[in-house]
Structure 1
Amino acid sequence: MLAFVNAGYLAVWKRPRVVDSRVGCTVRKARSFPHMREDSIVILDTRVSADKDALRCVLQRASSRGSVGLVSLKRQNWVKLICGASTEDVPLVRNLALVYTLAGVDCIDCAADEAVVRAVRQGIDTANSVLDRFELSQRQPILMVSVNDDEDPHFRKAVFDPDRCPSDCPRPCEISCPADAIGLQGVDRAKCYGCGRCIPVCPLGIIDAVHYTRPIEQLVELISRMKVDAIEIHTRPQGVAAFARFWDRAGAVAMTENDTTHTLLRELKLVAISFPDMPDLTGEMRKMHLVLGHDAASHVELIWQTDGRPMSGDLGKGTSHASVRLAEKALDGVHSLGLPGFVQLAGGTNEHTHVLLQQRSKLLTAAQFGGVAFGGAARKAVRPMLTTQNGESVEDLEQDWRRLADAITAALQFILPN
């Protein structure tokens, strides 16, 4: 609500939920408040115009990055947004996709869930509608879904019985949750992305983590039906056997659907393998590449994602170090074995990661260094603009130009750091 005092009376106007500032800047307000003085209407009109100018300015800044997508891997400035492999908060994911598409992100990584994928598509489409309105080029970031080959911390949900909580509990679980997923009714499954921070702080120790693996049959169908561009496979130390089982089963399922692995790969533009540090990292990478086989090397781009310190980028700038060190280690493996693909940072990345990369020229000068993926830090940066005071997602974000401009500005620190 906006209020203006003029000549001893109060005129109140609620911002109309419209994108086009031409609608209602003067006409609608004049109809709603026929008693409103002309100078009040001018103030309102000026405010809307200023919001539009702010949004136009930040969109033009974002457009200076140029084309997005796979080309950024070769330019070594690839940026991926991680919505969360377990995040099923559809309104939030839609707004994240909207903001980061407008900011110029190359790839949006989300849960392998149909509703979530649709939300990403909707966010991208809405972003392009905004770009059309401002006569700027549309963007089509790569749409990626994350899957796991075995038990993995990215694929779990916190759970507890709220009836067991004492009435005087200080609720450290709720305070520690970065997703606002914990309330009086327990855990909101859609919002929880499995970071696990609530588990050790519970004074009664009643919070557990439930792990899950999505059926491969659903994944294959999702890729085909929803036109998914890329998949990311999360694997664990010495987990090549599980990785091989997953890849073989995906191929077997594809063939039972009158398809082949070869054709399935043709539907994808990119395959990413996400892994933490391992004792024999180079040897494990070689085995994983052999599992993928010739088809993967021939038909899709390959990313080696270094998950330095999983789901920690929003905790502080120091979390970046683990991912940078692991990326250097992985890059040595790629070079020594002559493996295809690009090395990309993740796991602990945040706005400080760019500073570290500038200090570690070994990565930036390597031809097979692709870029950076941002998760918790990127979501945290825009969260104040994307959610209400109650923690719910803002509806029709694209209709609030000032809020949208502020969100894009926050996102640009990850995409255009200089």
Structure 2
Amino acid sequence: MISVNDDCRDLHFRKAEFDPDDCPLDCSKPCEKVCPADAISLKHSMVDGERTLSDPLRGKYEGGVITERCYGCGRCLPVCPYDRIRAVSYVRDPTMTAELLKRDDVDATEIHTTGKGTDMFNTLWDNLSGSINNVKLVAVSLPDIGESTVDLMNTIYTIMEPHFKGYNLWQLDGRPMSGDIGRGATRETVSFAAHVASMSERPPGFYQLAGGTNSYTVDYLKKAGLFQSSNWNSGTATSEMASSHQALIGGIAYGGYARKIVGRVLRKIPEQFGRVHIEDHPDHLLEALQEAMSLVGPVKGYIPSHSKPFMKQVDRQ
């Protein structure tokens, strides 16, 4: 899937940035502690061949933001006691994105929109329209903008429908990049789903939740009668719809919470390996897969006993 945005104000398309040379050496580095993605690393540099840990006011910091890990949650911004961290936003180049959509290994695209009107979405869609039918699925991710949310969705659908022949999916982004916080975050996104489900004029397509999703989300959706699930039995999927006609949500995107899981496993890999790829450490990869199964299982309707043979098979490989 290729992600693209129509507005630089979209929180998903920003990175934290700061110059470690600007950081006072007596700083307690709260940015490191608060980052859920372990995307900030500050270490004392070497001075005259010796570490400066014994004299913390000598030398300087090295490191900063690990760009490929940062996903723009923004939690480091308010905790910096010296106000040295800034957020750098960007818009993905639509021309480059259109070329990527022509690749054989790309079958879906995700369009993030801020809900600040549809002019920018329309412009982006025009830029992508020549390549859009190379993909099978277009997902539109949007925030809760109140009573006008469904009107916005219908306008977007009207823009897309004449040009796209594949599947469309609506990703309801209730509380962006906050799933690792806890129950409160998922209540907010489930409330967004309930609001959309109550609107009879909502546009066609599949619906899934994002933003504020975590291990509590499935239970909250079921209690609200909003969750569609499938039970897998002997390799056959059977739909198990909630009794409510508003069983709208058929999928869940785990972003920040999934990163938290992987980060927790990565931190167990000995430091001497440095920055690593989890695929190079089979035991830790298996642990991460088991954690992922605990999230995906309730969504896919996996029966718990079915996950054990899968794990044994992975272990043998």
Task: Please classify the TM superposition score into its range, dividing by the shorter chain length.
Answer: 0.7 to 0.9
TM-score normalized by structure 1? Answer: 0.58
Name the aligned partner's letter for residue 145 of structure 1: I
Does 2:68 align with 1:210? no
Does 2:114 align with 1:229? no
TM-score normalized by structure 2? Answer: 0.76
Per mean C-alpha deviation after superposition, the further-off stretch among 180-189 and 156-165 is: 180-189
**Is residue 158–residue 194 contact of structure 1 (8 Å, CA) maintained in 2?**
yes
Does 2:186 align with 1:320? yes
Specify the SS of the correspondent of 1:232: strand
Q: State the partner residue of 1:288.
A: 156
Q: How does 1:36-185 map to 2 (within 5 A)?
A: 144-151=1-8, 152-184=10-42, 185=63
Q: State the superposition RMSD in angstroms.
A: 1.9
Q: State the partner residue of 1:336.
A: 201
Does 2:276 align with 1:393? yes
Q: Which one has more relative contact order, counting CA pairs under 8 Å at least 6 apart?
A: 1
How far apart are the structure 2 equivalents of 1:179 and 1:235?
24
How far apart are the structure 1 equivalents of 2:70 and 2:104?
24
Aligned-pair CA distance for 1:342: 1.4
Gaps of 5+ in 1: 1-143, 255-263
Residue identity over aligned pairs, in percent, reads: 43
Name the aligned partner's letter for residue 250 of structure 2: G
How far apart are the structure 2 equivalents of 1:380 and 1:343?
24
How far apart are the structure 1 equivalents of 2:109 and 2:82?
39
Aligned-pair CA distance for 1:218: 0.9
**What's the CA shift string for 1:74-121, capped at 9, x where partnerless?**
xxxxxxxxxxxxxxxxxxxxxxxxxxxxxxxxxxxxxxxxxxxxxxxx
Q: State the partner residue of 2:221.
A: 357
How far apart are the structure 2 equivalents of 1:166 and 1:344?
44
How far apart are the structure 1 equivalents of 2:82 and 2:90?
25
Specify the SS of the correspondent of 1:283: helix
**Is residue 238–residue 284 contact of structure 1 (8 Å, CA) maintained in 2?**
no
How far apart are the structure 2 equivalents of 1:163 and 1:237?
38
Name the aligned partner's letter for residue 360 of structure 1: A
Name the aligned partner's letter for residue 199 of structure 1: L
Gaps of 5+ in 2: 43-62, 229-241, 299-303, 305-317
Structure 1 stretches of at least 4 aligned residues deviating more than 6 Å after TM superposition:
none
Name the aligned partner's letter for residue 384 of structure 1: R
Per mean C-alpha deviation after superposition, the further-off stretch among 219-228 and 382-391 is: 382-391
How far apart are the structure 1 equivalents of 2:279 and 2:213?
29
Name the aligned partner's letter for residue 346 of structure 1: A
Q: How many residues are treated as equivalent by the alignment?
A: 258
Structure richer in helix, relative to its length? 1
How far apart are the structure 1 equivalents of 2:4 and 2:22?
33
1:276 to 143, 152, 176: 143
Aligned-pair CA distance for 1:154: 0.6
Aligned-pair CA distance for 1:226: 5.0
